Chain A
Amino acid sequence: MRLSLALAAFSCAAFSCAVAGITGCGSSAPAASATVQLTMYTSVTQNTVTAVLAGFAKRYPDVKVGVFRATTGQLNARIAADEHSGGLRADLIWGTDPLSMESYAGEHLLASWPLPGLSGVPAQDKAPYFWGTRELYLVIVAHKGLSPLPSSWGELTSAKYRGQVALPDPAAAGSAFAALGYFDAAPAFGMGYYRALKANGATQVSTIPEVVTDVAEGRYQLGITLDDEVRTAVAQGSPVVLDWPADGAIGLYSPIAETTTGRARNAAVSDLLRYVLSAGGQAAIAKTGWQPVLPGVPGPPRPPGATEVYPDWTALFGRQQQILRQYQAIFGP
């Protein structure tokens, strides 16, 4: 009996102490009165976020930005958990693709774009709730030495590449979601393209970088991934090559938006948005390997004659869940 009581008392005391201890271990310190604390949710690669925020911190030392970085799928989970526990905590969301961002807008999580007068960003990279920050291109990655290389997207369904193609998961990767949107709407492809890939033994892996890793290690000979991922792997000496399809890499923009939560800190949020779309912010993005949206800021090199195709974002908005379900009926568990 006494032992039971002693254990119970000790347990309660230890529990209280530990919770108090670990709270201090992980929580951010309260912001000083002159400091504004922002929270950003993002699926953008860590080195890009770090580079941009480092530049922003130099210019705006009184604005501290806490970052939650994860894949688009995990970001969805995080946002959903927020919504079920008192509301979205993020002041900004910097995503990978417009389709995911439009889903957030449809859930009334995003505020209307706060800086409509900002110049330089191409019209095609603008939507009512978010603007693009960088251009991403979905290309084919091939294991070094593979011959012949496919010259178009359609060739990935050719029998000579049977069982050799890796695809990123649209539920996990926003850019893969954009590719799904493009193929679904393109008259020459449609969902039949994914059925043909499946019939040809294509395999879905998880993220965009995983495609490159699997191709580099020889698990697959070909894959669909982002251009920068291939360039980075090539620079490290990995046995992969970038294969830019003749019918055009699939272009998408990586959007950023103020959330309805962030409206309360609109001035600081606007400062950050303005910086990301400034020459300095765009240069930081370019340094990490991505193509900036501002035309005057040089990006990474591209193959001669390279062309792009773009999804019709407006036509795709509102159909995200529908096309994802159609895809998962083909490549789902």
Chain B
Amino acid sequence: MRRAVAVAGVVTLIAALVAVPLAELARLAAAAGTGGIRQALDAPGAAAAIAHTVEVAVAVTVLAVASGTALALAVERRPPRARRPLRLLVAAPLVIPEFVLGFAWSQAYGPAGLSARLAGLTLPGLLGPAGVVAVLTVYGMPLAYLAVTAGLATRADPAAERAARAAGAGPWTTLRTTTLPLLRVPLLAAAALVFVLAAGSFAVPQVLGTPDGFAMLSTLVYTDLQQSAAFTSVAVLALVMVVLVLLAVAPLDVWLTRPGPAVRPEIPPVPPPGGAVVVTVVVWLYATFAAGIPLLTLVLTALTKGQGLAPVPANWTLANVAAGFAGGGVAALLRSLGLALAAALLAPALGAAVAALGRGRWRAPLATLVTVSFAIPGSALAVGLAVGYGRWLDGTAALIGLAYVAKFWVLGHRTAQAALDRLPPGLTRAARLCGAGPLTAARTVVFPPLSTAAGTAALLVFVFAFHELTMSTILYGPGSETFAVVIMNSEDLGGTGTTAALALVLTLPPLLAAVPLLRHRWWSS
């Protein structure tokens, strides 16, 4: 009975955050009738945008999960002292906001970028689908890496690998027949996360795809949204995106309802066969290329006093930083920090609630509902929330906060689900039978793995919420600008240097937030 009440409470919350926006979108689409829906789907560019979205999402998912898994396997089986810096390097792009990453890559490797200025080299195809896929892969790969890392810590029992090796299997056979099957759940979770991230991405295709005329559903929705007459198109295209993601993710959710056995490894993992120096060099080169040079470009741009000037000391100034904070930048920064912290507290808690309550037949539907909110394009979710709750919360930070929780709830849920899945069935009951009270049983059996998951989720949610731009631009009103909105406005004003300076400030808090976690044993273990 009490469980039914709790499930009803969580379902109500999901309905408020997910169903209401979706219902509003559906109502908008339905109001236009079948003719209006057909017109939206037949509009110029709609079919191409749908195809591009699927192609990019699939390509990014395959590339990010494959590379994230490979790096995790290569790095995470090394001794703590060796893997710690490499883990940090691989995860680095996660602390760069998505649109800043796209902007920084275009400044570093695009036409007239830093590499072109210094060496006459540009990345061919950066402005276009290849660039979109490349940058989104860099952005999504840390998610896959972290998910596989968590899986290695909780699922891939080294004893099984040692047994396979003792039975005569080579390293690759062991990987194929033992390690990867044990990592099935985290791999699927990573694939689901990366897929919805890529399918809903707005900033990267906007920065790198639009100049080449390459549109995805998210950018088409944004374009339509800017033409106030196209609300029907926004709703229809958003719903198409939801259907696409449901088709891709729902089967995974069904599969994930059958968790494999979880373990708590007690023996050290099998060290990878040689190549430690190669792995170290590859990771350093990757991090330098993917994040180091773009960040350096950002710093140089922030220091340079005017667009198009060489980033040399003669052209350096700190005026860009001062100009960036001349308006309401400080207030917006504090507001964004507050919103991100609130989301980082709420999303893991709500995600854990869904994971804990959603067992048995409730598991897949609840997980899919939470995933849907993450899959809805930010601009469409924002419009749905604005229409649903705008009468009371229009233009307030509260509405932005609701959007963050709705959007990033899935990050808390996926990690909590993975942690709870590793608990052997009946362990809590065993603790009770041994005399432990309910709280003691929870504290000693459930919370240790859950706290690791909650820490990971909180960090992820904080980073995503602090960087969020698409929904904030729709939902902010007078006095509720987020820091990302201030940066976007700065870019609109043409202040490349100011934008770069503020973008660096946007990138710093997640780094600072990561420091305590670096000291925590889950990260440094």
Contacts and interface: CB of A to CB of B under 8 A. Distances in A.
Interface string B105-125: 000001110000000000000
Contact of A76 (B228, B307, B339, B349): B228
Given A77-B226, A85-B390, A237 B338 contact: no
A33 to B, nearest CB: 20
Interface string A1-45: 111111110111011001101110111100000000001100001
A71 B492 contact: yes
Interface in B208-225: 210-211, 213-215, 219-220, 223, 225
Contacts of A83: 228
Q: Is the interface of A mostly helix, strand, loop or mixed?
A: helix
Contacts of A82: 390, 394
A324 B227 contact: yes
A209 B446 contact: no
A158 interface: no
Contacts of B215: 333
A84 B306 contact: no
A218 interface: yes
Given A8-B10, A84-B231, A206-B210, A239 B442 contact: no
B386 interface: yes
Given A240-B308, A321-B229, A68 B478 contact: yes
Contact of B476 (A68, A76, A85, A333): A68
B492 A22 contact: no
B418 to A, nearest CB: 16
B479 interface: yes
Interface in B379-393: 379, 382-383, 386-391, 393
Given A14-B349, A324-B227, A84 B386 contact: yes
A78 B28 CA distance: 16
B356 interface: yes
Contacts of A76: 225-228
Contacts of A15: 13, 346, 350, 405
Contacts of A237: 305-306, 309, 315
B49 interface: yes
A23 B398 contact: yes
Nearest to A206: B210
B28 A84 contact: yes
Contacts of A14: 345-346, 349-350
A197 to B, nearest CB: 14
Contacts of B400: 22, 26
Interface in A95-120: 103, 107
Interface in A278-333: 321, 324, 328-329, 332-333
A28 B478 CA distance: 8
A239 B308 contact: yes
Contacts of B379: 77
A21 to B, nearest CB: 6
A64 B244 CA distance: 46
A187 interface: no
Interface string B394-426: 111110111001000000000000000000000
B267 interface: no
Given A8-B353, A77-B225, A77-B228, A26 B398 contact: yes
Contacts of B313: none
B519 interface: no
B13 to A, nearest CB: 7
Given A203-B211, A209-B492, A213-B496, A85 B394 contact: yes
Nearest to B497: A236
A25 B395 contact: no
Contacts of B393: 23
B80 interface: no
A26 B333 CA distance: 11
Interface string B470-497: 0001101111100000000101111110
B342 interface: yes
A140 interface: no
A151 interface: no
Contact of B44 (A84, A215, A329): A329
B489 A219 contact: no
A46 interface: yes
Contacts of B493: 45-47, 209
Given A7-B357, A217-B308, A219-B111, A210 B44 contact: no
B288 interface: no
Contacts of B343: 18
B335 interface: yes
A233 interface: yes
Given A23-B396, A238-B308, A80 B2 contact: no
Given A84-B390, A237-B306, A5 B2 contact: yes
A73 B339 contact: no
A185 interface: no
B494 A213 contact: yes
A227 interface: no
B438 interface: yes
A40 to B, nearest CB: 8
A18 B9 contact: no
Contacts of B226: 71, 73-74, 76-77, 171-172
B96 interface: no
A81 interface: yes
B492 A207 contact: yes
Contacts of A39: 477-478
A18 B219 contact: no
Given A8-B357, A22-B338, A212-B307, A233 B10 contact: no
Contacts of B10: 8, 11
A324 B44 CA distance: 13
- Identify which of A82, A172, A207, A208 gathers the most chain B CB atoms within 10 Å of its CB: A82
A67 interface: yes
Contacts of A209: 491-495
B280 interface: no
Contact of B349 (A7, A208, A212): A7
A229 interface: yes
A1 B305 contact: no
Contact of B401 (A22, A79, A86): A22
Given A5-B6, A26-B480, A333-B219, A81 B398 contact: no
Contacts of A7: 349, 352-353, 356-357
A19 B397 CA distance: 9
Interface string A113-130: 000000000000000000
A260 to B, nearest CB: 16
A270 interface: no
A89 interface: yes
22 contacts: A4-B6, A5-B6, A6-B442, A7-B353, A18-B346, A21-B338, A25-B335, A28-B478, A70-B489, A70-B492, A73-B226, A77-B226, A81-B382, A81-B386, A81-B394, A171-B227, A208-B494, A209-B495, A238-B309, A324-B227, A332-B44, A333-B213
Interface of A: 1-8, 10-12, 14-15, 18-19, 21-23, 25-28, 39-40, 45-47, 50, 66-71, 73-74, 76-86, 89, 103, 107, 143, 171-172, 203, 205-210, 212-213, 215-219, 229, 232-233, 236-240, 321, 324, 328-329, 332-333
Closest 7 CB pairs of A and B: A26-B397, A85-B390, A209-B494, A66-B478, A216-B308, A73-B226, A236-B306
Given A15-B405, A84-B28, A236-B305, 20 more contacts: A1-B2, A2-B442, A4-B6, A7-B352, A15-B346, A22-B397, A26-B400, A27-B480, A77-B226, A84-B390, A85-B387, A85-B389, A89-B395, A89-B477, A103-B228, A209-B495, A213-B308, A219-B112, A238-B309, A333-B223
